[in-house]
Amino acid sequence: MGGTFSLGWLAWRSLAARPVRSVLTAIGIALGVGVLAASLATSAGIDAAVDRTVVDILGRADLRVAAFQEAGLSAETIQAIRATGGVEAAASTLERRTYLRRPVAFVGALPAPVSVLGIEPDVDASVHALRLAEGAAIDRPDAPTALITERLATEDGYGIGGEVTIQALGDSETFRIVGIIDGDGPILGSNGRTVVIPMDAARRIFGAEGVDSVDLTMTAGSSATEVIAALEANLTREPYVLSTPTELASSLRASTADFQATTALIAAIALFVGAFLIFNTFSMTLSERVRELGLLRAAGATRRQAMGFVLTGALIVGVIGAALGVFIGLGLAALIAAHVRTIGAIPIDDVAFPLGGATLAFLVGLVVTVAAALEPAWRAGRIPPIEALRAGLDLAPARRARLRWLVVVFAAVAVVGLLAWPRAAGEAGIVTSLAVYAILLGATLLSPFLLGPLGRLAGIPFAAVLALEERLARGSLARDRSRTALTLGALTIGLAMIVAIGGVAQDARRSAGAWLEDVVPGDEVLTSIRPVGLDEGVEASMTAIDGVARVTPIARFDLALRGARVDAAAVIGSDLLADGRLTFVAGDRATALASLDRGGTAIVAASVADRLGLTVGDLMSFAVGDGRTVRLTVSGVAERTLPGAGGETILVGWSDAVDSFGVAGADVFAVRFAAAAGTSAGDAARASVHEMARERALEPAALNRIEGAVSDALGRVFALFDALAVIAVLVAALGIVNTLTMNVVERVREIGVLRATGMTRRQVRQMIVVEAGVLGLVGAFLGVVVGLLAGAVLVGASGGFSGPAELPWGSIGLAVVLGVAASMAAAYYPARIASGLPIVRAVQFE
């Protein structure tokens, strides 16, 4: 095997002879692998968080019976559950949101809310598994003791032995903290701010009659099917939802699917861009080493050995780069996890780096590297010994092969991407991602043809200042069209991702904003921590405030339709009509809204109508317990309705809500002011409303603040995607360094002549920087166009807002600046080489 060894040694020497290029290539691979590893680790972190949350929520429970109506599950139902055969233990829980009273009075906005969880201390431990970081569990049902989550303790400065005062309906109540719950606690979406108190206290504080859910364990030997059947026979009093831990986990996972899919797509793109870099690097090295390879062949090296020489080099770079990438991925994953945690909507755990994921990322990096080097290696094997020894061998025919090979690499990365695809992301995600991926590839294949005309355009601003430099720079870019095209393609793809993400973000923000404004009949919403009965007079007393035009109560609740949970909201139709809310796609607006108040009808959102196949006039049957059903006729389909927990709501009138569905009261009041904020009348009205809200424990929030919170959360998610896409641009910039350097190396003599003819070092540097600038501008232009296209596909696939699209100017600006800046920064090294060339050696260079 002596031959192989020396070949490997030669390959190593060849890499060492071009340290900058080799290192840049390895870093390019490392960044691509890093993003992939981070994406896998993030996915694993999300999965782990989901699994943990399921355990935190359900503990040892085998089944959860959740209340369907606002009144909750009655004591009789709990009794019936406990009496069901096969049920070993059953523990009920009640969950509400409220605020903690600070020990000292504070002025200004309300603090972040907390979730309060009521438990049955005597049976809870046998069903749930609250993990305590310190202290002890609540031992007595009647003691005023509480557990708080570690995060809440840290954020608000509570400790064991301290007291928490919970804002109740009437007077607030104080509990002594006896234990700290490990981590974020058992309630998802509470941002880790949870207080656990005895059930009786919780019911008293929130005026709740029933409980939210009952979690149960089964006796050994009983089967879930039997227990479920028994429960279904026993529980006839009120509607409920039965779910298993698996169902809970999959519904949690579904909410993170888009996030995971997008991260995976960006990882695939970073890898693809990395593959460009590798391919270009080895092609360049090959054209430089043609003579050397020819010599090897003349000296008796076989084709396989010549191929082996190139592939060994790729393998070395691949191993180093991929290993480095795994470590980068580790750090990146930690950063992503920290960032995602600030968003709150997506659960994520710290990732003990999964060995499987690390190995997968490493292998994928290696495979992509070697795959990208296969074509150059194959070409290396086909170099005729005699021709290689001739000076100035033209590898032109091989250049066309590069683009063909690109398609193969694209396919390879796509296949790898499919293999590494997160299960949760679903098939629609795959199709969309492949479509986006194909658009990017198409743009790359077109770029050699667009390079000339676009380059001329992009050169105009530079030519105005540096005519000669611009001309020579453009000539240099045209020297090896396919090499430039590949480099440009990588840059285009990275920048396109940024623009596409910007487009999607814009659409998401816009639809979120437009949605609320279109459907909420108010400038502010007042949220209650308990249902406020319509007979309590809140509406009337607030409407009496000068400057308040309208106050309308809204209740959000769940309905059971065709065996599935749907979101519903109780509204006053005439208020919506008077306020001019809702855009109807079917049915008459005035008739539909008026009929809501009379009862017997409902308005559904277009998305719900599509999903359930409903049209105006259809009859919907809702199960309301005791085997009874309530039927409502679809009186209209609105483009958007009020948002619910899991989607848009079915709007029903208050009479149906109270009489048929047991809705106890409003949890939201929408307030429309007569005067705008900022005017003295408007501000006075707002102040009065806020004062009244405080008295009644209602939390006021301006609609634009809610929109702001939504777009802030969106902003954080998309900022993360942007950051990942920037890494792809970074990889592309490494490719630019390589290409520009190659362009310098190939025209050393030309640069020597220019210097001998009187070009200053500065002018030479400028020439290279202009070359990079033209490349950057063309890349930015193509990136913006392709990105808008890809963004439209992504938006369309997610059923996004269908109105006339507004361009994501922020992202476009970012892409242009980043494209030009990254390219010009990439020119630093080659420009230094070029301007530092000794003239005498340069003009004699062959």
Partner 1 sequence: MPGDRFPNPTIRRDGTGFVPHTHTEVHLMSAILEARDLTKRYRLGETDVDAVRGVSLSVQEGEFVALMGPSGSGKSTLLHLLGGLDRPTSGEVVLEGEVVSELSDEDATRLRRDKTGFVFQSFNLIPLLDVTENVALPFTIAGGSRDAEQATRVRDAIALVDLADKAHHRPDQLSNGERQRVAVARALVTAPALLLADEPTGNLDYTTGSEILDALWLSCVARKQTIVLVTHDSKAAAYADRVLVIGDGQIREEIVLGRRAVHDAAPLIARLAQLGL
- What string of DSSP letters covers 20-88? HHHHHHHHHHHHHHHHHHHHHHHHHHHHHHHHHHHHHHHTT-SEEEEE-STT-B-HHHHHHHHHSTTEE
Token pair 């190396």 in the structure block, residue: 745
CB of 833 to partner 1, least distance (A): 16
Stretch that binds partner 1, among 13-21, 200-208, 465-473, 596-604 (CB under 8 A): 465-473
Q: Which is nearer to partner 1, 122 or 746 (CB)?
A: 746
Q: Which is nearer to partner 1, 580 or 838 (CB)?
A: 838
Q: Which of 266, 282, 275 is nearest to 406 (CA)?
A: 275
Rounded to 5 degrees, φ, ψ at 383 are -70, 120
Residue 397 CB neighbours (<10 A): 8
In Å, what is the CA distance from 270 to each residue of 38, 411, 447, 452? Answer: 12, 15, 19, 26
Token pair 């750090």 in the structure block, residue: 331
472 scored as a contact of partner 1 (CB under 8 A) = yes
Query: How far is 177 from 160, CA to CA, in rounded Å?
Result: 5
The binding track of 300-319 with respect to partner 1, each residue x by CB under 8 A or -, is: --------------------
CB of 477 to partner 1, least distance (A): 11
Q: Which is nearer to partner 1, 530 or 761 (CB)?
A: 761
CB of 843 to partner 1, least distance (A): 5
Q: Which is nearer to partner 1, 521 or 752 (CB)?
A: 752
Among 471, 510, 530, 832, binds partner 1 (CB under 8 A): 471
Indicate the DSSP class of residue 535.
Answer: G
749 scored as a contact of partner 1 (CB under 8 A) = yes
Q: Which is nearer to partner 1, 188 or 473 (CB)?
A: 473
Among 108, 161, 758, 804, binds partner 1 (CB under 8 A): 758
Among 574, 591, 763, 798, binds partner 1 (CB under 8 A): 763
Q: Which is nearer to partner 1, 386 or 756 (CB)?
A: 756
Stretch that binds partner 1, among 306-314, 349-357, 492-500, 833-841 (CB under 8 A): 833-841
Q: Which is nearer to partner 1, 664 or 831 (CB)?
A: 831
Query: How far is 263 from 425, CA to CA, in rounded Å?
Result: 10
Among 185, 752, 791, 808, binds partner 1 (CB under 8 A): 752
467 scored as a contact of partner 1 (CB under 8 A) = yes
Strands 114-119 and 194-198: what pairing?
parallel
Q: Which of 791, 781, 787, 785 is nearest to 819 (CA)?
A: 781
757 scored as a contact of partner 1 (CB under 8 A) = yes
CB of 292 to partner 1, least distance (A): 21
CB of 486 to partner 1, least distance (A): 21
E strand or H helix at 527:
strand 524-532
To 10 degrees, what angle do helices 426-463 and 481-519 make? 120
CB of 469 to partner 1, least distance (A): 9
Q: Which of 243, 734, 223 is nearest to 491 (CA)?
A: 734
Structure tokens at 709: 């919170």
746 scored as a contact of partner 1 (CB under 8 A) = no
832 scored as a contact of partner 1 (CB under 8 A) = no
The binding track of 659-688 with respect to partner 1, each residue x by CB under 8 A or -, is: ------------------------------
Query: How far is 289 from 311, CA to CA, in rounded Å?
Result: 14
Q: Tell me, by CB under 8 A, how many residues bind partner 1.
A: 22
CB of 476 to partner 1, least distance (A): 8
Stretch that binds partner 1, among 192-200, 315-323, 339-347, 747-755 (CB under 8 A): 747-755
CB of 764 to partner 1, least distance (A): 10
Query: How far is 164 from 148, CA to CA, in rounded Å?
Result: 9
CB of 750 to partner 1, least distance (A): 6
389 scored as a contact of partner 1 (CB under 8 A) = no
Stretch that binds partner 1, among 256-264, 265-273, 398-406, 748-756 (CB under 8 A): 748-756
**Beta carbons of 53 and 90 less than 8 angstroms apart:** no
Query: How far is 835 from 746, CA to CA, in rounded Å?
Result: 14
526 scored as a contact of partner 1 (CB under 8 A) = no
CB of 468 to partner 1, least distance (A): 5
756 scored as a contact of partner 1 (CB under 8 A) = yes
- What string of DSSP letters covers 629-667? EEEEEEEEEES---B-SSSBPEEEEHHHHHHTT---SEE
Site for partner 1 in 781-810 (CB under 8 A): none
330 scored as a contact of partner 1 (CB under 8 A) = no
Q: Which is nearer to partner 1, 225 or 757 (CB)?
A: 757
Q: Which is nearer to partner 1, 229 or 843 (CB)?
A: 843
750 scored as a contact of partner 1 (CB under 8 A) = yes
Among 249, 416, 754, 816, binds partner 1 (CB under 8 A): 754
Query: How far is 283 from 276, CA to CA, in rounded Å?
Result: 10
Q: Which is nearer to partner 1, 247 or 746 (CB)?
A: 746
Terminal alpha carbon distance of the chain: 36
Among 242, 753, 785, 807, binds partner 1 (CB under 8 A): 753
E strand or H helix at 397:
helix 396-419
* 318 residue type, one letter: G
Burial 108-126 (b: 16+ CB within 10 A, else e): eeeeebbbbbbbbbebbbb
Stretch that binds partner 1, among 105-113, 170-178, 463-471, 687-695 (CB under 8 A): 463-471
Structure tokens at 545: 């405030």
837 scored as a contact of partner 1 (CB under 8 A) = no
Among 202, 216, 671, 759, binds partner 1 (CB under 8 A): 759
**803 burial via Cβ count (<10 Å: 0-12, 13-18, 19+):** exposed
169 scored as a contact of partner 1 (CB under 8 A) = no
Query: How far is 171 from 70, CA to CA, in rounded Å?
Result: 23
Summarize as ranges the residues that interact with partner 1 (CB under 8 A): 467-468, 471-472, 475, 749-750, 752-761, 763, 838-840, 843
